[in-house]
Structure 1
Amino acid sequence: MSQSSEHNTTTDDEQQMRALRELVLGESGQVVKQLLQENARQVVSEVFSEALFDREKKDGSVNKVILPLVEKSVERSVANHSEQMVGYLYPLVGSLVRKSVTAFITDLMEKTNSLIENSLTIKGLKWRFKAWQSGVSFSQYVATQTFAFRVEQVFLIHRETGLLLNTISAGLQNSADADLVSSMLTAINDFVSDSFNVSAEKGEQQLDVVKTEDFTLLLKQGPKAVLVAAISGNAPQKVADQLQLSLEEIHKLYAQELKQFNGDASAFINSEQQLRDCLLAELKTTENKSQKRPWMAWGIVLAVIIVICYLGFVRWQANQYLGKLRLIDDEPGIVLTFAQLSGFASLQLKVLRDPQAVSIESWLNQQQLDKADIDVKERAYVSLDSAIIKQKVQSILGNFVGIQAEWQDKLPTFNGELSNLNKLRLQTELNKVPGLDFKTQWLDGINIAGSESNAADDPAIIRAILDLNIAKLEHITIKFEQGESTLSEQDINSLIVLRDEFVNLLPIAEQQDLSLGLIIMGASDATGSSAFNKALSQKRADVVKNKLEELGIDKNRLNAIGLGIIELKTSGDGARKVLFNVVYFDAT
């Protein structure tokens, strides 16, 4: 009965408590919820940053959630308000660019000055030798000579495990193997602690300084971590003080991480700033010493500039000479085929020169050019330049005293007084001038001096007449169309004239006891194969030979030859022809 009464009492109490809760908090806690909603901003703001920090530290989920939201927000802002974003970022970016450029130029100037001052001077060369002698790099040796001290590298080591937590060096190059150094220091520290622990009352012995030939290793011990600095030079007390301050700060910021360290050093990646504070350095002071100037460097630079200027002048002068050399192409009777610089300052010149033209050496002297600097290669050719023709004519007239030539439209007329023999000789010489196309009426102004009664019996006159007529006959040519070997009516008439001239020469040659022969030479241009043109030229010569036999010339006096292709750049269509050459021999 009593148990039933107690049960009923408990039930009543629970009901009363539930009624009281509903009365105070409202149904389903509505009063509390409403109160929290009304004061949610104030409540959350007081613990928001701490809550974010704790959650991020716990599982890193804050960064994973917020980062996509921030990225999307920035992306939308840039897309919708690009001009405003540019306006906002412009002052910051401009300032960063200016600072970056300024820092780069400053660093470049410092490195350049250091290189010139320490590399090309007597002191720099001495330092290089001593660095080689010591077995260290030049940059390391320069650092020891330039700085009173410098912290080269800082190591943060977990004290219990001896594992490397983080490291930073003064330069990206020449930094030591951080893990190897960490292991070595831990081993040495353990060795010192175990081997030299004389009294248990004094505690464990700890390694504070390790000296090597190049560095001093300064160690600062903490409860959970060890800070080690590799120092070149003599480190003052302020380095040890800074190491102590940085070590204390690291223990303060990373106390939990150091306590729970399990071999993963990623939690200490942000400790770089504390380590960087330990990278101290101090330049050596040079008292009562005047600044040395790098005279050797300036001398080398000056010598290089002088050499460059000299080579530039030589090259410029060679180009000036080359420009003058090309003017030789304007000289009558000279054709420039090649002119260019050979090597750095030498010149190479190739020309075609008529024997009547001015010599290359004389022309170079006129232009004040040194022949020793010019490689000249000269080949002979026959010029049809009117100035050269005039010179050749004047050269011939030098052998005939009293004869003058007057030129009009590139055609000469001659006057003076000559014997009949000399007139014939002059006519013969003028017929031999290439490009003159001599006409007998040009000599109408020449008077015959002396008696002509014995002219017909004079052997010299007869020989001159023979040579003159041979020259006229050799001027006759028979032209053909491309690939053809047939004679036209005009060609046949030309052969008739040639037959008459040749037959008239026979009695004159007999008076001189000479036997005449006629060589008929066929030629072709470069159209077609060499074998075809060789056969075609022979066929043309044979056709002309056969025609002359029909016209009455003894075949024993005729000889037909096929020359094939005439390889002359100036021949052109004129190569398709038959040429004649009169030969004579003693009749005896």
Structure 2
Amino acid sequence: MSDIQTRAKEDLEKLRKVLLQEPLTKQQAEMQRNARQMVKDVVSEAINDREKQDNSVSQVLLPVVEHSIQKSFKQQRKELIDYIFPLVGDLVRKYVAASLREFIEKTNDIIESSLSFRGLKWRYQAWRSGMSYAKYVIAQTHIYKIHQVLLIHKETGILLHSASANSVDNENSELISSMLTAINDFVADSFSTHSGGSEQELAEIKTKEFSLYLKQGPSALLVASVTGTISPSAKHQLQTSLEYIHKMYVDELHKFNGDTSTFSVVESTLQACLLEEQKSSQQKNTWLAIILLGAAGLFLGWLSFLYWQASNIVTTFENGLTGQNGITLTHAEISDIRNVEVTVMRDPSAISIEDWMGNQSIDKNRVKVNEISVISLSNDVVTQKINDVLRQFPQIMYAKGRLSIQHGMESQLHTGDVILLESMLRNIPGVDSDKLLGDISHIQNIASTNSIDTNAIQHLLGKLIGEISNIRIEFAVNQSDIPQFEAEKIKIISEKFNKIQIVAEQLNKKALLLVLGTSDTQGTQDRNQMLSIERAENVKNRLVQHGVNASFLQTVAIGQVETNGLNSNARKAIFAIMY
């Protein structure tokens, strides 16, 4: 049974082969014929999908591409160089041009911002560049002219074409090209590096009157005959023209057979290389430098003017205070360009420095005054103080160091006046009271003959008290320091109170000066109370400095004062007399 089944299977297989073999063979042949068409429709998508999947396509192709490029360079090195030469030259030129443009812009900014003359400017730039001054000047001027341009076949040395600014120059073109080829070959053979290094090529030949600039290419070289120093832009033009010729006539150069007529079409290209640059007759616009120089000059002039004014102020102090009664200048200098600092010693009776500067038309804002208070004992100052006292006693005169009664005014002089006068004179430092004692005694004898008018003394006392009571010292908001413009009132109060004490003694009384500090309603009550105390104390201390006995001074803090809408400043120190 098993043999029968085996034979049946074998027969079935033979039958299958007979029936299906031919169609399968035809189908496989058909698929082989259409395989390229079938793959063509999906190959790009398949490669893209596989590359996205695992990057295996690029990994497989990379060694193949590298091997192909290496093989091409080895087998077709010259052809590749010929085709790549114009492209590489253009890329390098663009990169170098960008770098040079940036460098030129920076250099131009430096030149434009310079305020020196051109020669000094160029010396400075040469020093910065590490170049000699002569080379830098040449690089800046680069005046040149290209007289002739030669296109020479590199392999044969034959002159392919030439162009010149003067037709006479073309006569020796063939000879020049032959000599240059020989020299170029000599340099290449004699000075090439060892071990297969690159060959040396000529780039420039200099003579006394002109220079030859050579631009080397794979199949040809371009030679320019130049007088002067050729500019970078002209060299760039030569290089660009050579690359253009290699690009447009690569086949003609490779298959050159000695027929130069083919290259007559490069005439316009060579003519474009006949460049020249002449020195401009117009000077560069220097308005910016002129404006900056003018501004600097005005600024320096203004500083000089301020210094001159300050110097005049110092001179005015030195000359004006010489011989000024009660004031001695110890130091005067210019503290900066425009301000002055002075140090003076001043007697309180002398004119104030502020008033003196006002009389001299000196700007007070430009002067810092350091004042040292002193008592002057000079005769002129003492005489001035005596005369100031005698203004209150018109009955008495002082002349040639002697006191006397004005003629016809003897009856108007009383003993109280003489006592007050004597007390006031004794308070003047430097007064020779012994010398004046006889005069005062004589005046006292005359006054004693007149009856003592108690009512007149009482009236004088009341008048002095009223004058002090009418004086007010005002303060700024939230301030307890005495303002400068109120300082003179302190001196007046001290003088009047000293008189009150003398007059009160004639009535066998003692006088007490009350200093009352007040404040307005702005701020807190505690703060206003504190300001009232500080204002009264500051006035008291200033009165003591002016010679008032502190034991006859009393301070009182009133605090806030309601003005009830009156247009009055409540920030004050007021005065009252008790006796």
Does the pair score TM above 0.5?
Answer: no
Which band: TM-score by shorter chain? 0.3 to 0.5
